[in-house]
Structure 1
Amino acid sequence: MVSTSLWMETEILPEAGALKGDAHCDVAVVGSGIAGLSTAYELSKRGQSVIVIDRQGIASGMTARTSAHLAPLCDDLMSQFKKLRGAEIAKLFYESQAAAVDRIEEIQASEKIACDFLRLDGYLFQGNGMPADIIDQELEAVQEVGAPVHRLVGVPLKGCESRHVLRYPRQATFHPLKYLAGVAAVCEANGVRFFANSPVEEVAERDGAVTLRTAQGQITAGHAVIATNASIAERFQLHSKVAPYRTYVLAFAIARGELPDALYWDTEDPYHYVRLQTGPDDHEFVLVGGEDHKSGEANDAEERFARLESWARELIPAVGSVTHRWSGQVLDTIDYAGFIGREPGSERIYLAMGDSGQGLTHGVMGAMLNSSLILGEDHLWKSVYAPDRKPLAAARNFLRENMTILQNLAEYVTPGEIVSLEELKPGEGAILRRGLEKIAAYRDKAGELHLHSASCTHIGCHLHWNSFETCWDCPCHGSIFAPNGQPINAPAVSALRPVER
């Protein structure tokens, strides 16, 4: 089964064409996921002329690969967040994330967007073999930030009837691409211009403006928002404070009413997460995710899906066949909050970078924050997400995540995965050593070879093959390349260097 999410059947502005020639606007937004489209919505509602530009189709990136949990509490536990950032910042973090869910609810209601938005409870439950004191610590932290929470015993999952549990009211779910289709339509009505399949090759600030250069044109704007999650404007400083992780999701068919509709997460590491999505007739979909790992550091998706399916069938015996399966990439920051606001050293470039597994709420909240800052307003949340903050308490996380770079660069002196191109079967990719060079080799299903340098064009890290998604992953900062060498995920903007056979 190929990688296809439950949401991908919904196309957004498929007629959007490429940028050709020059264009001008008040604000240019690079990236058309939930962060980019929400930013365009907020600014166009306030009278700004906006252009949204994307290297691929509109909303076809990682937003289309979410599991769409709208949960305002820290994905890495509020107790951990409070240890690193303190109670005051933790409270602001929670309030800002909750405001993002409120904003989605408000927009879908006021704009009459049919996107299956639903308020429901969320349950954090004790994982198998995990200590109960995690629940106690989290209860204390959540109460301190002012979020509603109730301590319970048991969730309606088989074998979990006596587990320690926290119940969080007023969480939510929705269909993310149906929502963004509605948001994009409102943006178009407000005069927002969209350009798809237009990779931005350079972002520059000069002479009181920002210019975005593509192969076929240029945008000149008063301000720019880089909403590509991993920024294409910033080379290394902030990238050293984030780490890419890949997560996996299965969708199962299930009869309506077999599982109470709620969000469910356990306390394992990596943790499992579960939600329902409305389906046709008397059926629903159960989304079960987890099995996270550092991007590029594993190529065993089939084994991970098998473990996820086993876990799901054990705890939810009523699930039927698997209908969809996919993976996505999140960008964890070392102190659990994104880098949102004005880029350090810039006056007119703003970032929406890092999501720590909460991309939807970060995207909407970031749009609210960046829009206010661009319009010259101060904002209460600015200190929580400031890109120039110095997270000294997260030094251990910083060192741990940046060990990846040192370990990765050492791979340039190791043997290849294959010794001959003849070993590659159709549809396979692998690393070949040729003298001092490492080559990213892929043989397509027609038998044609695609050979490129195995060096990421961002800062030169060693790429790894991802057989499930059929792409080359960079473990350092999350760049992803198609088999033809073209970058399909930031921060890389340049194609891989072709290599002769």
Structure 2
Amino acid sequence: MESKDPIEDRLTSGSHRSYWNDTEAPLAYKKLEGDITTDVVIIGGGIAGLTTAYCLSKSGKKVVLLEDGYLGSGESGRTTAQITYALDDRYYDLENIFGEEKAKLAAQSHLDAVSWIKGAVFAESIDCNFKSVDGYLFSDPTDKEENLDKEREATGRFGLPTEMVAHIPGFPQDNKQRAIRFPNQGQFHILKYLKGLADAITRMGGEIYTGTHVDEIDKAAAKANGFTVTANHIVVATNSPVNDILTMHTKQFAYRSYVIAAKVPKGTLPYAMWWDTGNQESKWVAKPYHYVRLEPFDDTFDLLISGGEDHKTGQADEEHVTEKQRYNNLIAWTKSHFPYFTDIAYQWSGQVMEPVDGLAYIGKNPGDDNIYIITGDSGNGMTHGTLGGLIINDIIMGNPNPYIALYDPSRITLHTGLDFVKEVGNMGYKMVKDWVASGDIKDVSELQPGQGAILSKGLKKIAVYKDDDNVVHSCSAVCPHLGGVLQWNDDEKSFDCPLHGSRFTALGTVINGPAITNLPTVALKDN
């Protein structure tokens, strides 16, 4: 019997379907089946790629968009879909890094992105459960309470309409915790929103191809499915750039983040967003925090969607907490703050690219004149992805845009040196440790059905997986990007690279960049 890839039909980049994947038909288009010439080719069918295609189509450009899976099958479909100008990184930290004027620009850019999304939903009549909601930022127990006051003061100086409140709506009445209120945030069903953008793009003459894997990019064209798309401008909007070997991957680092969606009786909680300030004692440079929102579910229940428990991709073992155990930790944290939910309806994880200075990289790829990148979502993928489309459109069209320099991928920030050293040091440590490690198992007979592992055979590292029919599959366990030793992710049934976040299915198919090629198969009998 032919074995089945655990990641089914490229619907999503893991074994768990998100609520969004499960409640919207696959956004599939025809595959690329011939050579094309266009003004702009966009690689990636998430919020960044589709917003870029939408903006450029409105500007009169001929646009072709290529997506490896289906639209939203990457990280956009695994988000919690919060549209907010409350950033993962504190505004007072951004001021220390960039200075007051640039931190104020950052605040205004995200305020603009929230407004633009609301405008697009209205202009295109997109039925995506959009709601304007308030958000509440409160202190993690490991954080100093005075830092909340610093953030409130900084957001006010930068023009954001925030206020301090003495009690958090939705928390039990005996919880007197203060919070910063961020009014008029947004939330939606991300895949329904992407469908609305895609419908508008094709209506304006843009072309969308799914099931189309790009395996080569240069300044003249993108090559996919054995065909060539020749273009004047090439936009890489793939979460992690697949056209760059090293430059951008010393500026940002991949993290896994976990999500549960729990049923709560309708009317129990207000529609809102809640965030803590993150674990200041974490070993990770990007201090993991929790992020929560409410989503309509049915006539009886809403879904409380709660995320967090982050770790560097491929490095869950560094904290001795497995990927699966992180859901239990997330459930416990959520229950302690929102003791209202019944059963868990969904759970999934996603990948976040954390830039070393807190802001996305949007613009011309360093060293290129006509290749552009959108990356470094930093947990604010809805607004950073939207800004990507707006900024790239203005660069290509020659329009002035106040945010071009702020998000320039070539920028150098001098006040992040210690964090940079920690992140790069972590990569070097993992490279050495994993190459000298003996592997997870000594023989494939140790594998249970549905389980994968790393097997060492002399100097070789082999990724092995036993499917539900007890057939063993084996590939190289060396990431084709820069040689990191992959790690088995037993939660999402994938092999993940601990260096730069590339991910592969259990059968070796690439599903996350920066790697662009599949893992070569390895015959176990020859080793």
Shorter-chain-normalised TM-score: which range? over 0.9
The farther-off stretch of 6-15 and 132-141 is 6-15
- Contact 1:12/1:58 (CA < 8 Å) preserved in 2? no
Can you give the 5+ residue segments of structure 1 that lack an aligned partner in the other structure?
Answer: none
Match of 2:116 among 75, 80, 103: 103
Q: Deviations over 1:368-423 (max 9, x none)?
A: 00001011223210111001101121111211111222112111112111111111
1:394 aligns with 2:412: no
Over aligned residue pairs, what C-alpha RMSD do you find?
A: 1.5
Match of 1:466 among 475, 478, 489: 489
Alignment-derived partner of residue 89 in structure 2: 76
The separation in 2 between residues aligned to 1:160 and 1:243, in whole angstroms, is 39
SS in 2 for 1:404: helix
Q: 1:295 to 1:52 in 2, by over 3 A?
A: same
1:249 aligns with 2:272: no
Alignment-derived partner of residue 306 in structure 1: 328
Matching of residues 338-349 of structure 1 within 5 Å: 338-349=360-371
Q: Deviations over 1:60-96 (max 9, x none)?
A: 1110000111111321111221111111111111111
Residue identity matched to 1:380: P
The separation in 2 between residues aligned to 1:401 and 1:199, in whole angstroms, is 30
The farther-off stretch of 76-85 and 330-339 is 76-85
The separation in 2 between residues aligned to 1:21 and 1:138, in whole angstroms, is 53
Residue identity matched to 1:305: Y
SS in 2 for 1:383: coil
The separation in 1 between residues aligned to 2:391 and 2:127, in whole angstroms, is 26
Matching of residues 216-255 of structure 1 within 5 Å: 216-255=226-265
**Runs of 4+ in structure 1 displaced over 4 angstroms?**
10-15
1:140 aligns with 2:191: no
Match of 2:67 among 48, 51, 54: 54
The farther-off stretch of 77-86 and 30-39 is 77-86
1:88 aligns with 2:106: no
Q: Compute the displacement of 1:162 (Å).
A: 1.8
1:176 aligns with 2:198: no
Q: 1:180 to 1:160 in 2, by over 3 A?
A: farther
Q: Compute the displacement of 1:366 (Å).
A: 0.9
SS in 2 for 1:485: coil
The separation in 1 between residues aligned to 2:506 and 2:347, in whole angstroms, is 21
Match of 1:26 among 27, 34, 39: 39
Q: Deviations over 1:308-330 (max 9, x none)?
A: 11122222121111101100000
TM-score by length of 2: 0.92
The separation in 2 between residues aligned to 1:489 and 1:160, in whole angstroms, is 44
Q: Deviations over 1:140-181 (max 9, x none)?
A: 221221111111222131377222211111111111111111
Q: Compute the displacement of 1:2 (Å).
A: 5.7
Alignment-derived partner of residue 289 in structure 2: 271
SS in 1 for 2:448: coil
- Contact 1:154/1:162 (CA < 8 Å) preserved in 2? yes
Alignment-derived partner of residue 440 in structure 1: 463
Q: 1:384 to 1:475 in 2, by over 3 A?
A: same
Q: Deviations over 1:212-246 (max 9, x none)?
A: 01242110011011000211111101111100011
Q: Compute the displacement of 1:123 (Å).
A: 0.5
The separation in 2 between residues aligned to 1:132 and 1:268, in whole angstroms, is 12
Alignment-derived partner of residue 375 in structure 2: 353
The separation in 1 between residues aligned to 2:34 and 2:473, in whole angstroms, is 31
1:158 aligns with 2:180: no
Alignment-derived partner of residue 301 in structure 2: 283
- Contact 1:404/1:475 (CA < 8 Å) preserved in 2? no
- Contact 1:201/1:494 (CA < 8 Å) preserved in 2? yes
- Contact 2:164/2:179 (CA < 8 Å) preserved in 1? yes
SS in 1 for 2:420: helix
TM-score by length of 1: 0.96
The separation in 2 between residues aligned to 1:311 and 1:337, in whole angstroms, is 28
The separation in 2 between residues aligned to 1:250 and 1:416, in whole angstroms, is 31
Q: Compute the displacement of 1:27 (Å).
A: 0.4
1:296 aligns with 2:314: yes
SS in 2 for 1:398: helix
The separation in 1 between residues aligned to 2:373 and 2:416, in whole angstroms, is 21
The separation in 2 between residues aligned to 1:181 and 1:161, in whole angstroms, is 40
Q: Compute the displacement of 1:14 (Å).
A: 4.2
Residue identity matched to 2:115: D
Residue identity matched to 1:298: A
The farther-off stretch of 17-26 and 123-132 is 123-132
SS in 2 for 1:228: strand
Residue identity matched to 1:416: G
Q: Compute the displacement of 1:139 (Å).
A: 1.3
Alignment-derived partner of residue 450 in structure 1: 473
The separation in 2 between residues aligned to 1:186 and 1:283, in whole angstroms, is 32
- Contact 1:479/1:490 (CA < 8 Å) preserved in 2? yes
SS in 2 for 1:238: helix
Match of 2:133 among 103, 109, 120: 120
Count of residue correspondences: 497
The separation in 2 between residues aligned to 1:371 and 1:238, in whole angstroms, is 21
Q: Compute the displacement of 1:130 (Å).
A: 3.5
